[in-house]
Each structure stands twice: as structure tokens, then as C-alpha cells.
Structure 1
Amino acid sequence: MDVQELKFLLKLIGFTDARAPIAKLKPNPETKAPQRDRIARQLRDRDLIDYHEEILKFAIAPPGKSLLQLDTQILPISEAEVQLLQACAEHGITPAQTGLALDRRESVIQSLLDRGLIQAEKTQIKQVWLTRRGEEYLREEYTPSGNTPVLSLDLLANYLRFMRKSLGASGAIATPGDLPLATASASPPLSAEALTDDEILRWIRTLDRELGTENYLPIFQLRQHLQPPLSREAFDGALYRLQRSDRIELSSLQEASSYTPEQIEGGIAQDIGGPLFFIIVNG
């Protein structure tokens, strides 16, 4: 690991839950945004961090063009998704040019992107967080070498606080791919009759808050709490009902490498594109 990557990580662990806007993670004051973003991508490639990207500009992809030539009323695609595909059918557009309400844009764009119906032309990294692998690397594997000091005392203090926290409470950092928390799994036994749509929505909100998934709760996290008592068919049907009533959105998976095959299988298979994988609560 080079010095700039190390400084990036040590700045990151100085924030609450090792999560921060990328604008606050320059290794040095003179580091330019493209260099900072390049460091972030390199660290993500090694699974030391993960981040959320905002789509600034996108265009329709060949599968999206083919879909528009079909009868969209019999396909598993919403009216908002059709509207967005039509808006970018001729050229790349920004989210503001979709004609969709502000609170719907991101989930619709992400859903189409996950299914390969649109493609990003310009993105911007927003929130960055340390992964479990990154935590293990800093705690157990990284060994500094050399005679020239390169770290400030502030960065050293971040590392010391991180080590003390890790030694005092293993697994304190929650990431989107983590296993469910003990507090959630310790709930009283459930019955299928008690799991109304309102109760399932409450579970979604609770797990999202506890796991820190920022309104992108993986379906497998909910499934392993509610199935059983629900059957797989009943579980999937409940999510589809919540989607039809516009209480949630279901989005596909973009980066499969972040999850195990078993976790991906916990999604909902689709005839077109990858499985539905994330739950996004509306409102």
C-alpha cells in the first residue's frame, strides 16, 4: 500500500462508523479530485472500502432500446421506468432531464442501470465507507516500513482510536454486505399471520437502520428473518404488493462481487436482467 492510499484510509477511520463524504478524504490538501477518486477506486478494487456513486449522466443501452420496441404493458417494467427510457432514447441526459419527481429519480435510474437497460456516462463518488476486509487489513495485516515519517499526529491518533475500538468491540462497523445484527435476530418468534404488509415494512425500516444500508436493504437480509415463517412465494408476494402500492421500490444488483452466491440467490429472479436485490422504502 502506498502512502497516499494509507492516508486516505486513516482519514476515513477518523469519521463516525468509518464513513464520510469523499470530499473530506483528500490524502493531502493539494490532492486533486481526480487523483482522490482514483485512490478510492484502487482501494475498492482491493475490497478495502466501498462507496456510493451518483449518476450524473446516462444513456439508453442496447437492451433498453430493444425493450422499447416491445409491448411494455406485458413486461415487468413500471411506467416511470418506461418514461425514463423514452427520455434518454436519443441521447444521454442528466437525472434532472428525466421528467421524474426528485424523490423517484435515483431508485428508477438505479433499477434500470442494474438491469443493463441504461448505462452511466458520468458518475461521481459520494459516500465512502470502510469494509470488513479493510478493517481486518488495518488491524491485522498492514505493517509500515521505512525511516521517513509520513503521517501527521492527527492521522496517527485516528489509527490508535480505531485499534482501541476494534480491540474493545469486534465488528463495530456495519457495512451493506454484513450478516444481520444480533439485536434483530434476537426478536421473539414470528408467525406468518402476524406478518402483515405494515409489519413487513416495519422490519425493512428496522433492519435498514441497524445495518446502516442507507435505504438499500439487501433482500436476503430480510428474507433470513421472515422466511420462515413465510414461504418463499409468500415472502416474494409481500414485497411485490408493497411495490405495487408504491410503498417500496425493488432494485437489481450492480456489483455482484460484493456478495456471496447464496446472498445473491436470496434476491428475486427476473425474466429480464439480474435478480431484484435491494429494497428502497418510498417516503
Structure 2
Amino acid sequence: MDVTELKFLLKLLGFTDYRALITKVEPNPKTKASERDRIGRQLIERGLVDCTEEIKKLAIAPPGKSLLQADPTTLPISEQELKVLKATAKGSISPAQTGVAAEQRQAVIHSLAARGFIKVIDKKFKEVWLTERGKEFLRDEFESNSTKGTIHLKMLTEYLRFLRKVHLPEKAALPPTSPAPETAAPVPMKKPSDEEIWQLIRALDQELVTDNYLPIFHLRQKLQPPLSRRELDQALYRLEGDDKIELSSLVDTNPYSPDQINAGIPQDLGCPLFFITYF
């Protein structure tokens, strides 16, 4: 790991929940946005960081063109998704040109992209955060004998605070686990399929008695890991596009903690997508 990647990680340690807007995470004051984003993507590929992304430009893909030629009454997409496909059929566009309400655009576009109906031409980071793997790396694995590069005292202070605060269990010290009650929702050991995620949503709703209004943070607790945050978000968009679930926004934040609210899916405007209803 080079010094700029290390600085990127250390910079995240200075934010609540090790999470921040990408514009706030600059390894050096003069780091260009393109270089900052390149570093972020490298860390994401290594599993040390995860992110949310905003699609800035999109175009229709061949499967989307084929879909528009089918009988409108049999299309496996929502009215809003159809609106996006028709808009992109005229050429590459921005999300604002889709005709979809601002608070719904990204969710609709991501759902279409996840199923291959549109292609993303340009996108940008919104938020980035340190993953559990990233915490393990900083705590247990990072070493360097390099005498090049500088780490200022504030970064060092944040790192020391991190070491004092983080509590990651040692694998050798883990106590034996008790069998889960038969009524408990299953916890997948490998990356689940969309159908398995849908089944888990139903099981969690019944187990937690959330009246088919399951907060997303319950699902994240079960599925991250094995899934990353971004993988779970994409799976939820696909399920919504297949009319298996509906995602709705949080309006009253008082009953929930900041961590629980942050587990929602951020939107361009308004509150995050927070509740899951299954069909």
C-alpha cells in the first residue's frame, strides 16, 4: 500500500462511523479529484472501503431496446422505469432528463442498470466508508518500512483513537456459538441469491414483527458480510424492479439511531430509502 492509499484510510478515521462524503476525503490538500477517486476505487477493489455512487449519465443498452419493442402490457418493469427507458432511447442523458422525480431517480436508474437494461456512462462517488475488512487491515496487518512520505500528527492521533476504540474479535478467541433457535431467520454463510434475500426479508419481518415494514438495517446486520453494502443495495433494487419488494423512505427519524438511519440507501434529495415491504 502506498502512502496516499494509507492517508485515504487514515482520513476516514476522523469521521463519524468512519464514513464521509468523498469530497471530504483527500489524502493531501492538493490531491486532484480524479486521483482521489482512483485511490478510492483501488481500495474498494481490495475490500478495504465501500461506497455509494451517483449515476451522472446513462444510455439505453441493447436489452433495454428490445424491451421497448415488446408489448407494453407485459413488460417486467414499472411505469417509472419505462419512462427512463423511453428517455434514454433518444440518446445518452443525465438523470434530470429522465422525467422521474428527483427523490426516485437514482433508485430507478440503479435498478435498470443492475438488470442490464441501461448502461452507465458516467458516475461519481457520493459517500465512502471503512469496511470491517478495512478495520482489520489497519489494526492487524498494515506495516511499512518506507522512509518516504509524511503522516501528519492529526492522522496519527485519529489512528491511535481508532486502535483504542475498535473492538474486532480475534478469530482464535471466539467462543463457541450456540445453535440458533428454530424460529430465527437464517444467516447465509455465502453470498445469497436474490430469491434467498427475498426469503430472508420475509423471515426477518415475521421474526421481528415489523408488519411488512422491515427497516433495512436489520437486513444489513444479517447480510453484511457476506455481501458488501453496495451488493446488497443492488440486490434490493433488482428485487424492487421485479416487483418482489417496495422500498420506501424514512420520514420520522426520532425512533432510530444515527447508525440505523445511515444503514438506509441515500437519495439525491429527501430522506434515505429505509423500509422494505415484500409482496
2-side partners of 1:65 and 1:280: how far apart?
Answer: 32
In the other structure, the counterpart of 1:203 is 214
The one-letter amino acid of 2:168's match is: S
The one-letter amino acid of 2:214's match is: W
Query: What secondary structure sits across from 2:28 in the alignment?
Result: coil
1-side partners of 2:145 and 2:20: how far apart?
Answer: 28
Mapping of residues 64-213 of structure 1, within 5 Å: 64-148=64-148, 150-166=150-166, 169-170=167-168, 195=206, 199-205=210-216, 207=218
2-side partners of 1:205 and 1:147: how far apart?
Answer: 45
Query: What secondary structure sits across from 2:90 in the alignment?
Result: coil
1-side partners of 2:95 and 2:235: how far apart?
Answer: 26
Q: Give 1:105 shift.
A: 1.1
- Residues 97-140 of structure 1: CA distance to partner in whole angstroms, max 9, x if unpaired? 11111222111101001001001111111100111221111111
Q: Give 1:17 shift.
A: 1.1
Kept in 1, the 8 Å contact 2:110–2:234? The answer is no
In the other structure, the counterpart of 2:268 is none
In the other structure, the counterpart of 2:253 is none
Query: What secondary structure sits across from 2:107 in the alignment?
Result: helix
Query: What secondary structure sits across from 1:39 in the alignment?
Result: helix
Q: Give 1:203 shift.
A: 2.8
2-side partners of 1:154 and 1:108: how far apart?
Answer: 41
Q: Give 1:75 shift.
A: 2.9
The one-letter amino acid of 1:207's match is: H
2-side partners of 1:218 and 1:112: how far apart?
Answer: 10
Alignment CA distance shift 1:280-1:82 (3 Å): farther
Kept in 1, the 8 Å contact 2:12–2:130? The answer is yes
The one-letter amino acid of 2:48's match is: L
Q: Give 1:146 shift.
A: 3.0
- Residues 231-270 of structure 1: CA distance to partner in whole angstroms, max 9, x if unpaired? xxxxx9xx95753xx858xxxxxxxxxxxxxxxxxxxxxx
1-side partners of 2:143 and 2:78: how far apart?
Answer: 51
**Cα RMSD (Å):** 3.6
In the other structure, the counterpart of 1:229 is none
In the other structure, the counterpart of 1:22 is 22
2-side partners of 1:84 and 1:149: how far apart?
Answer: 47
Q: TM-score, normalised by structure 2?
A: 0.67
In the other structure, the counterpart of 2:196 is none
Q: Give 1:144 shift.
A: 2.2
Kept in 2, the 8 Å contact 1:55–1:123? The answer is yes
Query: What secondary structure sits across from 1:137 in the alignment?
Result: helix
Alignment CA distance shift 1:121-1:217 (3 Å): closer
204-213 vs 50-59, greater mean Cα deviation: 204-213
Kept in 2, the 8 Å contact 1:12–1:129? The answer is yes
In the other structure, the counterpart of 1:227 is none
2-side partners of 1:218 and 1:28: how far apart?
Answer: 32
Over the matched positions of the two proteins, sequence identity in percent amounts to: 45
2-side partners of 1:51 and 1:97: how far apart?
Answer: 25
1-side partners of 2:114 and 2:244: how far apart?
Answer: 21
Structure 1's unaligned 5+ residue stretches are 172-184, 221-235, 249-278
In the other structure, the counterpart of 1:4 is 4
Query: What secondary structure sits across from 1:53 in the alignment?
Result: strand
2-side partners of 1:60 and 1:83: how far apart?
Answer: 12
Kept in 2, the 8 Å contact 1:107–1:280? The answer is no
Q: Give 1:199 shift.
A: 2.6
Kept in 2, the 8 Å contact 1:5–1:27? The answer is yes
Query: What secondary structure sits across from 1:199 in the alignment?
Result: coil
The one-letter amino acid of 1:4's match is: T
